[in-house]
Chain A
Amino acid sequence: MKVFIRALLSGVLFVLGMAAGSPGLAAGVQGASPGSIDIGVQVSLTGPASSIGQGFKAGTQLAADEINAHGGINGRKIHLVFEDDAGTAAGGILAVRRLMEQDGVFAIFGGGVSTSTASVIPLVQQSQFLYYDSLASDPRVLEHYSPYVFSGATVVRADVTSYLADVMKQDFKAKRVATLTSDEGYCTSGMTLLKPKIVARGMDLVSEQTFQSGDIDFSAQGAALKAAKPDVIYLCGVPADGGRMIPQLRRDGVTAKFLGDPALADPVTIEGAGKVANGFYAPYEVSKDWLGETSGAMAEWKARFAKAFPHPAPGTPNSFSLAAYSDFFVFAEGIRRAGSEVTPDRVIAGLDSLRNFVGGKTAAWSYAVPIGTPRTFKKGDHKGSGERDMTLLIVRDGAFARAKGLQM
């Protein structure tokens, strides 16, 4: 009898030992199995920033579908779980909690706006949960370094504001600058950085106007901006805000140049503003290939998008679709470099080893369209993009085109 019990126990221990040692089944790793890996996607699908979220969702899906069609990552198929954060701080917390605790995903690919992303950073840091932020440029994302938090396609606010101040001074030769910014996190945090840079470059900040995201009436701000007689006005908000602001300000007689935040370099801005959007400037930051190009890598990517989404959401594909697509391959490369045993620490090590990585330019992802800006991460520095990755655009004939600017 004793021999039988010993044999039984040995058998059980052997099976448990095999399971513990098998790839992807390391003890405590949720959301990963030998055949699949669950990636949570936090995205702002509803609310004023929905055009951002709809575009991001489609771009992520396109990249994941391509990877799955080519056998997955090290044989693991990707299973995406989308959660809507509605672009709010509370929505972000709810979405991330659902992904971590209810959906049990392996890691989160963040496509929320700054407000909904900045709110979840303390949570993922405390939980030591792998979080790859692709869109939010709020300084709070990288304010306190965490090995678990990465920032991808969007350029961080410190670099964006330096670029904007340089454009105002060097390209526009502005002396008088005004601002009209929303209460979105990336606008408020950006303003604290932009103001001293405007002054340091010898320009006068003649009017600072604000609004609440989603506001419908800008007549008071228009009157104040008109009275201040600025040479250039910096506009910051979600694309839907941009589409409302621009025509109202022009209608109120504001004639200064408009320089938008990178978030406004979106077709929804033009769609809302109509013809008066012509002459509107905004920097573009997720690719060196502008969305409007009709040849090369961009044309190939757009053709794939159109094939994958015959009935796309209005305003998509947009720059956020591009960010999602290119960043998802960056994230996938980190997972690939983790090898057969996928754990968060091994994926982090994989991401930290990336140097100027662009999906589509390496053998492992030869089928991807190489449209992203190069991404480099290292331990202690998870800032994926910088000022060098920005391109100035202008609206001409109802569409964004490259402008003569700092990138030339």
Chain B
Amino acid sequence: MTVAGIVVGGLAIGAVYALVAIGLTLIFRATGIVNFAQGELLMIGAYTYVFLHGAGAPPAVQLVGSACAGMIAGLVLFGVTHFLLRRATEVVVIIGTLAISILLQAAARLEFTDNPMRAVPWLLGNRNLALAGAVISTNSLTIVVATLVIGGALILLFRHALLGKAMRAVAEDPYRAGLTGIPVRAMLAATWVAGGGVAGVAGLLLSPVTGVFPSMGAQVLFPALIAAALGGFESVEGVLLGGLVLGVVQTVGIFLVGGVFRDMITFGVLLAVLMWRPQGLFGARPERAH
């Protein structure tokens, strides 16, 4: 009974890490940039959800609205990193995303203060389900199922759709992709938009659990980076699994040794991965240089 509760709780928080990590990975693969403002895209999606919910919008509009808010913010970030910072090196652009992250948090703090705004669970409300003797919140299940659906859709997109294949081609080699007629800049923009949209949905899913506040995205960013590292910053499926594994390991670890050790558990996992599987849990081991 306890085990089921812990596992589902871990899968739910891990699913949120995974959604943010997917966005981070998409952008990193396409541009080489680690977007430190990815958590703030989640925060924007969460605030959008609270306001749409407050305005009485139906669940479908709330979902689309949060995703769109994240997409628009992702597009703006694309503009900043690729036009305003076009002459900067990758490291400078990464620092630029950190600056944008702090800027967005500060703006939200000025507008909404640090006090969390309450959010009602999306779609199914605040209910519990009794499954095989265990009581599981429908919100946790919603988060896990929504993440699996989004992850599955992205996997299908990148494997079978022309748009996804073009995005992958640009991520592999933008020069050669351009030679084949793929609009490279548009594909890069599409990558940022996709990353923002996924983060926006993550904000909608996470907000009922935590409330909505300016630094909520920053709370998720480092675990998401670890989830991305577990996935080797490569495939959607790897990152998805990495996030879920991290969530469960973190939750079981907290259950066993206590919540004040959360960061030690999380970063211990990162250190272990970097030491034994630097290519990620599911990537191929690179050949050792001699």
A220 close to B113 (CB less than 8 A): no
Q: Does B174 contact A (CB under 8 A)?
A: no
The residue of chain B having its C-beta at the shortest distance from the C-beta of A268 within the complex is: B115
Give the complex CA separation of A243 and B207 in angstroms: 13
List residues of chain B with CB within 8 A of the CB of A314.
113, 115
B116 close to A272 (CB less than 8 A): yes
Which of A42-50, A66-74, A193-201, A378-386 faces chain B? A42-50
Give the complex CA separation of A123 and B80 in angstroms: 44
A209 close to B262 (CB less than 8 A): no
The residue of chain B having its C-beta at the shortest distance from the C-beta of A248 within the complex is: B209
A221-B259, A243-B118, A253-B135 as given contacts; A216 in contact with B6, CB under 8 Å: no
Q: Does B252 contact A (CB under 8 A)?
A: yes
Min CB gap A315→B, angstroms: 5
Q: Does A252 contact B (CB under 8 A)?
A: yes
List residues of chain A with CB within 8 A of the CB of B210.
216-217, 244
Min CB gap A234→B, angstroms: 15
A219-B5, A274-B118 as given contacts; A46 in contact with B255, CB under 8 Å: no
B137 close to A252 (CB less than 8 A): yes
B118 close to A224 (CB less than 8 A): no
Q: Does B38 contact A (CB under 8 A)?
A: no
List residues of chain B with CB within 8 A of the CB of A33.
none
Chain B contact residues (Cβ within 8 angstroms of A): what range? 35 or more
Q: Does B89 contact A (CB under 8 A)?
A: no
List residues of chain A with CB within 8 A of the CB of B115.
50-51, 240, 268, 271-272, 313-315
Name the one of A215, A222, A315 contacting B5, with C-beta atoms under 8 angstroms: A222
Q: Does A90 contact B (CB under 8 A)?
A: no
A220 close to B254 (CB less than 8 A): yes
List residues of chain A with CB within 8 A of the CB of B6.
219-220, 223
A240 close to B260 (CB less than 8 A): no
* Binary per-residue interface labels of chain A (265-295) against chain B in the complex, 1 for a CB within 8 Å, 0 otherwise: 0001001111000000000000000000000
For the complex, would chain B's binding face be called helix, strand, loop or mixed by DSSP majority? Answer: helix
B254 close to A221 (CB less than 8 A): yes
A212 close to B262 (CB less than 8 A): yes
Min CB gap A226→B, angstroms: 7
Min CB gap A208→B, angstroms: 8
Q: How many residues of A contact B (CB 8 A)?
A: 41
A210 close to B260 (CB less than 8 A): yes
B259 close to A223 (CB less than 8 A): no
The residue of chain A having its C-beta at the shortest distance from the C-beta of B211 within the complex is: A272
Min CB gap A233→B, angstroms: 14
Which of B154-162, B215-223, B269-277 faces chain A? B215-223
The residue of chain B having its C-beta at the shortest distance from the C-beta of A240 within the complex is: B116
List residues of chain B with CB within 8 A of the CB of A387.
none
* Binary per-residue interface labels of chain A (204-239) against chain B in the complex, 1 for a CB within 8 Å, 0 otherwise: 000011111011111111111011000000000000
Q: Does B114 contact A (CB under 8 A)?
A: yes
Q: Does A326 contact B (CB under 8 A)?
A: no
B1-36 residues at the A interface, CB under 8 angstroms = 2, 5-6, 8-10, 12-13
Interface residues of A (CB under 8 A from B): 46-48, 50-51, 54, 183, 208-212, 214-224, 226-227, 240, 243-244, 247-248, 251-253, 268, 271-274, 313-315
Interface residues of B (CB under 8 A from A): 2, 5-6, 8-10, 12-13, 109, 113-116, 118, 126, 128, 135, 137, 139-140, 206, 209-211, 213, 215-216, 219-220, 250-255, 258-260, 262-263
